[in-house]
């Protein structure tokens, strides 16, 4: 099976219950944003820009748990911002599990290993040989240091008493990976993040955590690279992948123009471009454990139309229930019911190729249309979804030095990757990497970021340095520079 049986049954029960009751609109996945603070400033992330004035605000734990009860979605995706910065993340995961929900912790991966070391410190028992063998394996793979292993072995009472995130079949680490090393580190605007994500995934798999990845596809995303990324992630035994086209919603678009001096058209996909990029999505679904319905995959590949069901993946954050969807904000509401009842849903989405709202014109995102596939009333669609999910799990792609080399293709300057990064830039596929580079003539390096270069600061200096180092090392120039 592509998705564990217990989880599939839980979701199926939820759908059947509401269909029998004739509930017109109900939640499938809650996008819970306990905070918008982030340690990264990814290109194309509108979230940290739209909520830049409330970055320090957080949703109290009890309110997060109440929101989950309010909409009663069987799945909760804890996102943000970076949820591992949320001080009560462990208590939040535990509380949602007490409510019986399936949980995705959507993280950029940077703090995952720390959280897993804390877990190890809690469970570590010197008399248990399995625990010492975990440490040996993690040490052998350079996933923890000797000092960290010692800290785990000798954890004090306070460390032992911490609430931690245990491995569970009911939750996934959902790691943000937008490409292989070169692309990912440029998009997240910080070197070394891809490497950290891979280390975190390896550690998670050793410790028995379920681990998924989520990828946003942009105009400049190279399809061959996506396939290599899936092969590489499969070789790491990642349990599943979510993939969605990038969409030029207002906040991301404004940031693109203002901070990077780029035309959003160079970065985000139109509907036609999405269909071309996703032409092979069904083949990927056969080869790799792609989460999401085959109905949505057909939609992405341009084989059918779907109607947006954004109400099925509602977003709750510091301002309340965000409508109409995860991407666009026309208002916030105090309860899910009030949002459902007040928003004129018929004003949104694209029907028969005609956008009801011009802002929806190019949107084919997962959070608007994947539930449409799951909630379809057509018997053929239900059969398709069941066949896909109950079908055999794609086999793991074999790991190889060749694949590893393709994955770590730059730009970890100073660690031997520069030559490969240069080669990547010189390749035809990279010649149009303009939107990942910053316009040189109108930015200001003199004003210090007010929040230490964290989210919303507009600080892209590290990424600029990366590009400058590559550029300064010889004749290499990117198109936009």
Binding site for ligand SF4 (CB under 6 A): 38, 40-42, 45, 47-48, 80-82, 108, 176, 188, 308, 310, 324-325, 327-328, 348-349, 359-360, 363, 365, 367-368, 455
Q: Which is nearer to ligand SF4, 11 or 197 (CB)?
A: 197
CB of 364 to ligand SF4, least distance (A): 8
CB of 370 to ligand SF4, least distance (A): 10
CB of 352 to ligand SF4, least distance (A): 14
Q: Furthest-apart CA pair in the chain: how many Å?
A: 67
Q: Which is nearer to ligand SF4, 308 or 339 (CB)?
A: 308
Q: Which residues pair with 213 in a beta bridge?
A: 175, 241
Q: Which is nearer to ligand SF4, 349 or 373 (CB)?
A: 349
Q: What whole-number distance in Å separates Cα of residue 22 and Cα of residue 310?
A: 18
- Give the residue from 362, 365, 320, 324 showing the smallest Cα distance to 344: 324
The enclosing H or E element of 264 equals none
Q: Which is nearer to ligand SF4, 164 or 328 (CB)?
A: 328
HSE-CB for 93 with a 13 A CA cutoff: 23
Q: Which is nearer to ligand SF4, 112 or 121 (CB)?
A: 112
Nearest residue to ligand SF4, using CB? 368
CB of 330 to ligand SF4, least distance (A): 9
DSSP string of 268-309? S--HHHHHHHTTTHHHHHHHS-B-S-HHHHHHHTTS------
- Residue given tokens 């036609």 in the structure block: 272
CB of 10 to ligand SF4, least distance (A): 24
CB of 307 to ligand SF4, least distance (A): 9
CB of 187 to ligand SF4, least distance (A): 8
Q: Which is nearer to ligand SF4, 323 or 384 (CB)?
A: 323
CB of 92 to ligand SF4, least distance (A): 17
**Helix, strand, or coil (residue 396):** coil
Residue ranges with strand state E in 358-465: none
Q: Which is nearer to ligand SF4, 187 or 480 (CB)?
A: 187
The token duo for 317 is 């954050």
Q: What whole-number distance in Å separates Cα of residue 244 and Cα of residue 358?
A: 20
Write phi, then psi, for 218 (nearest 5 degrees). Answer: -110, 175
Please state, as a whole number, how many other Cβ atoms lie within 10 Å of the Cβ of residue 434. 18
CB of 123 to ligand SF4, least distance (A): 28
- Give the residue from 200, 187, 63 showing the smallest Cα distance to 144: 200
Q: Which is nearer to ligand SF4, 381 or 459 (CB)?
A: 459
HSE-CB for 194 with a 13 A CA cutoff: 25
Q: Which is nearer to ligand SF4, 118 or 248 (CB)?
A: 248
Decide: 412 and 181 in contact? Cβ < 8 Å: yes
> ∠ CA(55), CA(335), CA(358), 5° rounding?
70
């Amino acid at each position: 099976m592509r998705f564990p049986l217990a989880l599939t049954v839980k979701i199926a029960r939820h759908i059947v219950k509401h269909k029998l009751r004739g509930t017109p609109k109900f939640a499938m996945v809650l996008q819970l944003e306990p905070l918008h603070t982030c340690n990264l400033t990814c290109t194309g992330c509108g979230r940290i820009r739209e909520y830049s004035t409330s970055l320090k605000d957080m949703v109290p734990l009890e309110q997060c748990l109440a929101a989950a009860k309010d909409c009663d979605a069987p799945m909760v995706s804890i996102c943000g911002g970076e949820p591992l910065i949320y001080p009560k993340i462990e208590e939040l995961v535990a509380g949602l599990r007490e409510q019986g929900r399936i949980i995705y912790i959507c993280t950029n991966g940077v703090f995952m290993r720390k959280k897993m070391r804390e877990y190890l410190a809690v469970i570590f028992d010197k008399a248990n040989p399995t625990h010492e063998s975990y440490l040996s394996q993690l040490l052998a793979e350079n996933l923890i240091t000797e000092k960290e292993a010692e800290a785990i072995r000798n954890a004090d009472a306070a460390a032992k008493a911490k609430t931690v995130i245990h491995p569970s079949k009911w939750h996934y680490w959902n790691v943000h990976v937008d490409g292989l090393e070169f692309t990912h580190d440029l998009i997240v605007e910080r070197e070394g993040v891809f490497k950290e994500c891979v280390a975190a995934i390896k550690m998670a798999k050793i410790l028995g955590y379920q681990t998924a990845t989520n990828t946003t596809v942009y105009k400049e995303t190279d399809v061959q690279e996506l396939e290599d990324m899936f092969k590489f992630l499969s070789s790491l035994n990642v349990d599943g992948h979510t993939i969605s086209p990038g969409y030029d919603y207002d906040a991301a678009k404004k940031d693109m123009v203002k901070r990077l001096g780029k035309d959003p058209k160079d970065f985000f996909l139109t509907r036609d471009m999405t269909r071309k990029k996703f032409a092979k999505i069904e083949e990927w679904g056969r080869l790799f454990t792609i989460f999401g319905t085959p109905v949505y995959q057909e939609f992405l590949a341009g084989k059918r139309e779907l109607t947006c069901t954004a109400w099925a993946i509602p977003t709750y954050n510091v301002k309340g229930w965000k409508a109409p969807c995860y991407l666009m904000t026309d208002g916030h509401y105090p309860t899910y019911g009030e949002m459902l009842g007040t928003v004129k849903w018929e004003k949104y989405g694209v029907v028969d190729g005609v956008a009801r709202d011009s802002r929806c014109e190019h949107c084919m995102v997962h959070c608007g249309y994947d539930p449409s596939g799951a909630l379809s009333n057509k018997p053929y669609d239900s059969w398709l979804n069941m066949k896909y999910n109950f079908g055999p799990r794609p086999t793991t792609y074999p790991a190889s030095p060749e694949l590893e080399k393709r994955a770590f293709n730059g730009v970890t300057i100073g660690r031997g990757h520069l030559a490969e990064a240069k080669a990547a830039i010189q390749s035809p596929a990279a010649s149009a990497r303009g939107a990942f580079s910053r316009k040189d003539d109108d930015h200001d390096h003199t004003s210090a970021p007010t929040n230490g270069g964290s989210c919303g600061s507009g600080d892209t200096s590290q990424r600029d340095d990366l590009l400058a180092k590559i550029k300064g090392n010889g004749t290499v120039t990117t198109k936009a520079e």
